[in-house]
């Protein structure tokens, strides 16, 4: 009996290795690729969503907009047509979370600067003070690449509506002030169909890494 096992030991080892490889291949083929959810208003913290859209459960998309960037150029949804982009809300004089968020946006910009599919969009929540010249100065100080990243200002109501009805990303002040809001640390990942595919803490380095991984997943979704 021992001679029998000794004789076929080599074949047993080979068979075992082949079995492991085959099972691994089958698992890989059967395991579906991870996909990103499509976020609807009713899936998001109600504090970040305008009451008029709070209970929407499907078909939510980023609304059309017409804003002005750091170069005085008009930016509309057409700029981001068939593109993936990361959006956030900030203001240039913020001394708390904004500097960290902007630094992380700069790092994202560095990683996607040669990627024709991915762009950035930052909205000021204080358009009265963040004029085009102010945004331009801020952009130059932060190393913004104009072709990849728009810092936009415009009508306060429009920005408010975008923040709370489209991006589902900022809080109302709650004091009854017209179109006043408190921006959050949220970075929002938007797909080529103007749908929200992810929210990320713009102050957290690990969340930024997760965002970059999710961009890869989203790009693969379009390739497939």
The architecture in CATH of the region 41-223 reads 3-Layer(aba) Sandwich (3.40)
Helix and strand element counts for the chain (H, E) = 6, 9
d(CA 129, CA 133): 10
d(CA 97, CA 22): 50
Asked whether the beta carbons of 89 and 170 are under 8 A apart, the reply is: yes
Residue 183, pLDDT score: 87
Residue 27, pLDDT score: 44
State the pLDDT confidence band at 5, using cuts at 50, 70 and 90. Answer: very low
Region 166-179: mean pLDDT is 82
Residue 8, pLDDT score: 54
State the pLDDT confidence band at 56, using cuts at 50, 70 and 90. Answer: very high
Q: In this predicted model, which residue has the larger pLDDT, 130 or 3?
A: 130
**28-54 confidence digits (pLDDT tens):** 455 457 899 999 999 999 999 999 999
Q: Is the dihedral of CA 49, 55, 60, 66 positive or negative?
A: negative
State the pLDDT confidence band at 12, using cuts at 50, 70 and 90. Answer: low
**187-196 confidence digits (pLDDT tens):** 999 999 999 9
Q: Is 188 left (phi over 0), alpha (psi -120 to 50) or beta?
A: beta
Asked whether the beta carbons of 41 and 54 are under 8 A apart, the reply is: yes
**145-163 confidence digits (pLDDT tens):** 999 999 999 999 999 999 9
d(CA 12, CA 139): 66
d(CA 124, CA 68): 11
Region 14-26: mean pLDDT is 58
| Pairing relationship of beta strands 186-190 and 84-90 according to DSSP bridges | antiparallel
Tokens 């970040």 identify what position?
A: 48
pLDDT, the chain, mean: 89
Give which of 106, 108, 107, 110 is closest to 142, Cα–Cα.
106
DSSP summary character for residue 163:
I
3-state secondary structure of 14: helix
3-state secondary structure of 116: coil
């Amino acid at each position: 009996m021992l001679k029998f096992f000794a004789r076929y030991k080599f074949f047993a080892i080979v068979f075992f290795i082949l079995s492991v490889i085959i099972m691994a291949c089958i698992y890989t083929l059967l395991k579906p690729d991870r996909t990103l959810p499509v976020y609807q208003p009713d899936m998001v913290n109600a504090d970040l969503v305008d009451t008029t859209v709070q209970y929407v459960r499907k078909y939510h998309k980023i609304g059309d907009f017409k804003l002005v960037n750091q170069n005085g150029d008009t930016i509309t949804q057409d700029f981001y047509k068939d593109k993936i982009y990361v959006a956030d809300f900030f203001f240039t004089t913020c001394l708390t979370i904004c500097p960290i968020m902007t630094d992380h946006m700069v790092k994202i910009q560095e990683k996607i600067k040669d990627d024709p599919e991915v762009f950035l969009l930052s909205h000021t929540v204080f358009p009265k003070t963040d004029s085009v010249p102010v945004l331009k100065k801020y952009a130059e100080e932060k190393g913004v690449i104009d072709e990849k990243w728009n810092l936009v200002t415009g009508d306060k109501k429009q920005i408010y509506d975008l923040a709370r009805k489209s991006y589902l990303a900022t809080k109302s002040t709650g004091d009854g002030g017209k179109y006043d809001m408190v921006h959050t640390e949220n970075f929002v990942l938007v797909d080529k169909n103007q749908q929200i595919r992810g929210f990320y803490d713009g102050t957290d380095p690990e969340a930024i890494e997760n965002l970059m991984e999710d961009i890869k997943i989203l790009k693969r979704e379009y390739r497939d």
